[in-house]
Every structure is written in C-alpha cells, then in structure tokens.
Amino acid sequence: MSRVELTLREPSIVAVSPPEYGRDPAGRWWGFFQFPDLWRGNDGRLYLAVHVGADSMAGRHEPTQFYASRDGGATWRRVALEETDRTRELVALPDGRQVAFGQERYLYHHAELSPDAGRKYIDLEALGIKPVAGPFGDGYRVNEYVFYRYGDIPAALRQFPMAVRHGPAVPWQETTGTIELPDSYLRALIRAMWWDDKGRPEWREFSPRLNLPAPQDVTALPDGVLLWALATQHSAVPRRYDVVSCLASSDGGRTWRLRGMIADALDTSWGYGAGEQSLARMPNGDLLCVMRTKMSNEAADTHHLATARSTDGGHTWMRQAPLAEFSVTPHLLTLKNGKVALIYGRPGVHVRASADSGVTWSESQPLVGPPERELLARPLAEWWAQRHNFSCANTSVVVTGPDRFLAAYSDFQHMNATGERCKAILAREVTLG
C-alpha cells in the first residue's frame, strides 16, 4: 500500500447546545443538536443545517438551525432559512449537460423531521392502497412499519421532479423522471415511540405515508451513465431487512432501472444501508460502495462497515466484506489527487485514506472520541456501552480542494464557556497527502 498522510486541522465550532441537552445525550435528548447536513450552495458558500429535535416522528421538534461560512468553514454564523442557498445540486454529464433532481436540495433530517420543512407525503390510505406485509418493528424498538409494493402506487405519483440544461448559461427545462422498480418494497411508518418530559415512553400512531425515492448522491460515469445506490426493503424477508441496489440511467436521469444488486445477502442482522450507503467511482475506474449494517441497540447484532466492489460499471458486485467494526453514516470521497477518503463511526468518528482505489486503507484517525484501535482493544460489551458517549456519528462531508474535504460532526463532550458539558456541532478539514 502506498503511504497516505492524513492531516487533521483544528475543528471550528459551528453551534453549541444548551447544557440540558448534554446531560442525557443518548436518552430523551438523542437527536437534539445532532445530525448535521453540510453542503456547498451553488452560490459557492458553505451551509450547515443542525437538527434540534427527537430522532423520531413521535418526539418534540424545534425548527432546524442554519449556519453559513464564507471562509471555507473556518468561521460560521447563524442565518435564517431564507438566507441559505438550497437550490438543487448539479450533476455534470460528460457532454456538457447538467441535471438536477428534486425541487430543492434534499436535507434528510430537516426534510423528514423538522416542523418547518413542509415535506409532502403520499397518503396511502386515502388512495386505497393496501400494504403487502407488516406491521414490523425496527431494531431500536421505537418504530413500526408496514410495507408497500412500489408498483402499486399510481404511475403519476411515482414521478419525481427534475431539471435539465445544456450548459451553465442555458435556462433550465423542468421535467420529471421515473424509477422502474415495480416489485421493490418500501416501508411506511405507522407507529413511533419517544420519551415524554418525565422520561416515560409514549407511542403515537400515524396514517401510513410514503416519502417516495428520488435520485441522491448520483455518480456520473465517463460514458454518461448515471448511477445511484438505493436502499429498499427485501421482498422475501417477513420483517425489516434492507438491501442496496445499483440503479442506472442512460438518458440523463429521466429513467432509472436496476443495473445490479450491491448487497442483498441474508447474512446480517437487519440488512445493508438503511439509507446510509455511499457509492463512489475509484481512481482506477472501479465502483466501491460502503454500507451501514448497525441497525439496532443489540451488541450481538451485526454492526460492521460493509463494502462491495464492481469492476464492470455496476452490473455485478463482489460479495460484501467487512472493512471496519463501526458503520454509522459512512462517506466515500474520491479526490482529484487520486486519494480516497472514508469516514464512519459510532462510537466516535473515524477517517481513513487509500492510495490504491480502496484496496488497502491507512490506519484510522479519530475526528472525535478515542482512537479506533484503543476502542477495539476493549471487550465488545465495554466499547458497546460507550457507543453514544462521544458523538452520534451521523456526519456530513464536502470536498473543499483536490486533496482535502470538510467534515461536520457532533461532539457530545464539548465544554461551554462556563465549563458545562454540552453538545456541539464542529467542522473540521482533513487533508490527504
């Protein structure tokens, strides 16, 4: 393995929570001042959204907090929602065309949980559509779902908004796209639990609603084909079990079809991805996908970071292999200097680098929390009990140069100016030399 030097710049503080959120970070305050969404607007500035609410539809939620940086992430100031550039992310095609998906930039936790997001759902009961399976609980015992067949939803509702233009100076043409996966299963939330102000579990029921998939984190191949890694429900497993598909579009994003299965083996506790998978084209032309497998609070369940590689443009995939013991919110970044960065966590947040297209990796360095090697030197029961002590590990990243990227993450051990422990959102630049 060629040597890769990882350099971690001192983190900058984006936001600090009130002290109360630091007193029970993994209990009723789980989700408050967490789950940062970092992006570069089309205006060139960096923006960051901070979730302030429970990690559940059932809990209390405050409006998302937004921050902006004009100096590459060194300093941040709080801004109003209206001051952020949430225009759609651009995907450049080799022929000069640009495509953009959705109606605005998709910020997961803001869109799904914030009271000011205005997210639109499909009311399945109102349409008379019946679930094909369920109800089933999740591995955290806080959500219950029923499953729907994607093809049972009316075709007009399965379309997603998108736009195309033939160059930066050409006006956008609004259109729609479709996903041709009629036999895939999607899950709809019907019941959720969170803790009330006295710490007692409280369940809420919901009418089955679906937030239909649309392309995100799209990878463009040199021949113009677009790829997207999508997590759905395994149709042959009578409980929640996620699989990851490689979808491809050869018409500029208008039509998406299955190209290959990245991960559908029945060899983990709860499946692969759960919406936290990252697909990237390696410097040697291979495709690499990393996927979360931790989907419960049980130490005996699967929790490793799974990887899968394709050498034929996503048609076939090698069997999934574990790369690390931790797997929450992994990100793969291929930099212009030919190096590849990988970030993942819980416990802590860790970063690795590769100089050979992800075949071998450097030893990890922690962004927050103890070193990975130190954690794994302890018995499983010991480090598992500490998995929520340092960070939620739900990170967000933006490439900031040919050899560097910026990572946003939560720190549960931050001390405020008066010495009280709080949660904080930090941004830290990492260089791969």
Contact (CB, 8 A) for 2 and 170: no
pLDDT tens-digit readout, 98-138: 999 999 999 988 888 887 766 678 889 999 999 999 999 99
In the chain, the number of structural domains is: 1
Cα–Cα distance, 181 to 212 (Å, whole number):
12
Cα angle value 259/261/265 (rounded, 5°): 170
pLDDT at 1: 55
Cα–Cα distance, 415 to 280 (Å, whole number):
36
pLDDT tens-digit readout, 141-198: 999 999 999 999 999 999 999 999 999 999 999 999 999 999 999 999 999 999 988 8
Q: Position 349: which residue type?
A: V
Instruction: With respect to residue 408, please indicate whether it lies within any of the assigned structural domains.
Output: no
- Identify which of 291, 159, 279, 290 has the alpha carbon closest to the alpha carbon of residue 228: 279
- Identify which of 144, 130, 136 has the alpha carbon closest to the alpha carbon of residue 237: 136
Residue 210 has pLDDT above 90, yes or no: no
Give the global pTM. 0.96
Instruction: With respect to residue 403, please indicate whether it lies within any of the assigned structural domains.
Output: no
Instruction: Say what the alpha-carbon torsion angle 256, 258, 259, 264 is, to the nearest 10 degrees.
Output: 140
Instruction: With respect to residue 409, please indicate whether it lies within any of the assigned structural domains.
Output: no
Cα–Cα distance, 232 to 184 (Å, whole number):
7
pLDDT at 330: 99
Instruction: With respect to residue 113, please indicate whether it lies within any of the assigned structural domains.
Output: yes
Cα–Cα distance, 150 to 318 (Å, whole number):
27
Domain CATH code at residue 256? 2.120.10
- Identify which of 17, 15, 21, 14 has the alpha carbon closest to the alpha carbon of residue 59: 21
pLDDT tens-digit readout, 38-49: 999 999 999 999
- Identify which of 202, 201, 232, 229 has the alpha carbon closest to the alpha carbon of residue 216: 229
Residues 6+ apart with CB under 8 A from 269: 139, 293, 295, 296, 298, 301, 302
- The residue to which tokens 């990887």 are assigned: 307
Instruction: With respect to residue 278, please indicate whether it lies within any of the assigned structural domains.
Output: yes
As a whole-number percent, the residues of the chain with pLDDT over 90 amount to 91
Instruction: Say what the alpha-carbon torsion angle 31, 33, 37, 39 is, to the nearest 10 degrees.
Output: 180
Q: 193 is in which domain, residue-wise?
A: 6-397+416-432
Instruction: With respect to residue 407, please indicate whether it lies within any of the assigned structural domains.
Output: no
pLDDT at 95: 95
Residues 6+ apart with CB under 8 A from 126: none
- Identify which of 414, 418, 433 has the alpha carbon closest to the alpha carbon of residue 13: 414
Cα–Cα distance, 126 to 417 (Å, whole number):
52
Enclosing H/E stretch for 112: helix 108-113
Instruction: With respect to residue 211, please indicate whether it lies within any of the assigned structural domains.
Output: yes
Instruction: With respect to residue 118, please indicate whether it lies within any of the assigned structural domains.
Output: yes
Cα–Cα distance, 334 to 348 (Å, whole number):
23
pLDDT at 114: 82
Contact (CB, 8 A) for 76 and 69: yes
pLDDT tens-digit readout, 309-334: 999 999 999 999 999 999 999 999 99
